[in-house]
Amino acid sequence: MNNIKQQKVSEVQKKQNKINTNNKKMFTATSTSKIVSFSFLFLLSVVWIIPVIWTMLTSFKLESEVQTVGFKILPVQWVIVNYVDVLTNTASGSIVRWFLNSLFISTVHTILVLIITSMSAYAYSRLKFKGKDFLFWLLMSAMMFPSVINLIPLYKIVSSFGWINNALAVIVPGLSGVFNIYLIKQFMMGIPKEYDESARVDGATEWVIYTKIILPLIRPILTVVALFSFTASWNDFLWPSIVFNDVDKMPITPALQLLQGAYDIQIAHLMAAAIISIIPTFLLYLFAQKYFLEGLSLSSGVKG
Amino acid sequence: MYNKKNKNLTPYAFIAPHLILFIIFFAIPAVFGIFISFTNWNIMSSPKWVGFQNYYEILLNKDSTFYMQFHNGLKNTVMFVIFTVPVSIITALSVALALNAKPKGNKFFQSLFYLPSLLSISSVILTWHFLFNRNLGPINNIFNLKINWYGQQPFTWIAIVIITVWWGIGGNMVIYQAALASIPKELYEAADLDGAGAIIKFFKITLPSMKNQLTYTVIMTTIAQFNIYGQPLMFSKGGPKGSTYVLLMYIRQLAFGSGESIAGLASAMAVMLGLCIISVSSLQFFLLRNND
């Protein structure tokens, strides 16, 4: 009796020991990989952060200091004169104006994207109608089409609407995109049909179901779509540079190219302009980082 | 009666706003873009059918400037894709792997590496144009170099690739992180029992488990890089000697530049670029999907 007990005890002990050594092994393995990973990330992050920091510091330096070879990292004298100059100079177009143009364009574009794509996604995920599957398939396959081919005809269409040098030229065409519909539809599939079906039985119209039941439930994905639409619109470069030739009407992203010509080698001024131009997207990132990062995993179809 | 009819039309009311915009701003330009590549269109007048003349001009007529422009532009674009895509993918994957080990400062590193993807290409180039400045820029000064980054190959390409990778790894990195986090731990534990090393585990477990995400990101990154425009335009102005003049710059210049628009011919170039994008991404899809 005793013997058997002892045997069992020693077996348990052996097992315990084995687990312990395994744990130890695993522990050292993970801690080495943590150290290696940290060193790698640390070194690489220096490369990543230097451009940002250097730009910021340079924007607070005197132009004469930047132009002197044999520079220092920190400004010898901290000045805001570059910002004042860039903000008040209107000879080559006003950066304040461009900033406001962009703010208007990106905000209106984002609101319209939310309304139009969520309505469409609602129909494709919840309603029954003729040709639904075919239409959705058609939209999805359009994503494979290389949009570079559309560029020139799109210009003709926009200009025939009289939208050259008009904010509509950069607000409206992007609303034809299909990716956000797919994204929102996918999210809606995760909402139990019982929610809207019981409302339907009670006689609620589709519009009421969409606005009162579905919209509040899909708020997370709408936030993601809003953030990405806003930043994409803010950062758009090629298309606005084609449809705007009036300097005053331009959004800020293509306008920076004009500044590059205007300020030429006044580097500290250019750095100040670059910093001003990234404030909105930077702030959005600061406050809604979580949504940006989650949204990306959603859009690549990664699910847990 | 009215109610029933109303109900049948409701779904169409929901999809109509998008569908109308889709037809006007996507479907029509797509079809028209292919059509005008067979015409002598100049954007203003009505297009006249010229058959394959534009294609002959850019593909085969060696005496034509457009032949030179198309070949130079496509060559430079393809070179950029070949340089940038592997570096972007490998860098993003390495960073994601390192972050997945959950080292100290994990969250901070993630935010930092993602940050540049939120910046516009024009602000990114303003910054890097200064960093690579020959006399005043910190890069030459820190490493004690005298390289003319804007005007001497291969340095201009190196600079453009560095800028592009810096700008764009964020999205892929996050996708890989999510993919890595979703690989079941049991797979690695089983491999440990079999005595598999880190490298074997990476190639036998990690990479195959991320196949979908790798396929997706490789294709999306390739498509994005084929559309390169802002970097060479603002960094090197297509130079030195046209060696970074990419196809989209020619297309833009021919269709919307000063002087009379040659939109028909520019469209032929756009269609050719589109065909390259479709063929390469289909090939990638085929290769990455079928190598079990």
In a domain, B3, yes or no: no
Are the CB atoms for A109 and A170 separated by under 8 Å? yes
Give the pLDDT confidence of A155-205 residue by residue, as tens digits: 999 999 999 999 999 999 999 999 999 999 999 998 898 888 888 888 889
In a domain, B11, yes or no: no
- In chain B, the percentage of residues whose pLDDT exceeds 70 is 97
Cα-to-chain-centroid distance, residue A253: 15
pLDDT of residue A39: 93
CATH of residue B114: 1.10.3720.10
In a domain, B26, yes or no: no
B197: confidence class by pLDDT, cuts 50, 70, 90: confident
Supply the mean pLDDT for chain A: 87
Pick the residue with more confidence: A230 or B197? Answer: A230
Q: Which domain holds residue B64?
A: 53-289
Give the pLDDT confidence of A47-101 residue by residue, as tens digits: 999 999 999 999 999 988 888 766 678 888 899 999 999 999 887 789 999 999 9
Tell me the chain B residues in contact with residue A142 when contact means C-beta distances shorter than 8 Å.
22, 26-27, 30
pLDDT of residue A20: 54
In a domain, B48, yes or no: no
In total, how many domains does chain B have? Answer: 1
Partner B contacted by A262 (CB < 8 A) = no
For residues B161 and B158, give the distance between their C-alpha atoms in angstroms, rounded to a whole number: 5
Are the CB atoms for B33 and A150 separated by under 8 Å? yes
Partner B contacted by A31 (CB < 8 A) = no
What would the 3-class secondary structure string for chain A be? CHHHHHHHHHHHHHHHHHHHHHHHHHHHHHHHHHHHHHHHHHHHHHHHHHHHHHHHHHHCCCHHHHHCCCCCCCCCCCCCHHHHHHHHCCCCCCHHHHHHHHHHHHHHHHHHHHHHHHHHHHHHHHCCCCCHHHHHHHHHHHCCCCHHHHHHHHHHHHHHCCCCCCCHHHHCHHHHCCHHHHHHHHHHHCCCHHHHHHHHHCCCCHHHHHHHHHHHHCHHHHHHHHHHHHHHHHHCCHHHHHHCCCHHHCCHHHHHHHHHHHHCCCHHHHHHHHHHHHHHHHHHHHHHHHHHHHHHHHHCCCCC
The partner residue sitting opposite A253, judged by closest CB among B102, B120, B133, is: B120
pLDDT of residue B263: 93
Question: Once rounded to an integer, what is the mean pLDDT over residues A245-273?
Answer: 91
Rounded to the nearest angstrom, the minimum Cα separation between B61 and chain A is 22
The partner residue sitting opposite B98, judged by closest CB among A41, A128, A267, is: A41
Looking at chain A, which residue has its C-alpha nearest residue B25?
Answer: A173
In a domain, B45, yes or no: no
Is B130 in Cβ contact with A55 (below 8 Å)? yes
Amino acid at B198: A
In a domain, B1, yes or no: no
- The pair phi, psi for residue B49, each rounded to 5°, is -65, 130
Tell me the chain B residues in contact with residue A153 when contact means C-beta distances shorter than 8 Å.
28-30, 32-33, 36, 267
For residues A31 and A45, give the distance between their C-alpha atoms in angstroms, rounded to a whole number: 20
- Interface size A-B, in CB pairs within 8 Å, comes to 271
Sole residue written with tokens 């990132």? A285
Q: Enter the ipTM.
A: 0.91
- Which residue, among A190, A213, A215, A177, has the nearest Cα to A298 in the 3D structure? A190
DSSP code of B70? H
- Which residue, among A199, A222, A193, has the nearest Cα to A291 in the 3D structure? A222
Cross-strand partners of B39: B49
A14: confidence class by pLDDT, cuts 50, 70, 90: low
In a domain, B22, yes or no: no
Task: Note the residue count of chain B.
Answer: 292
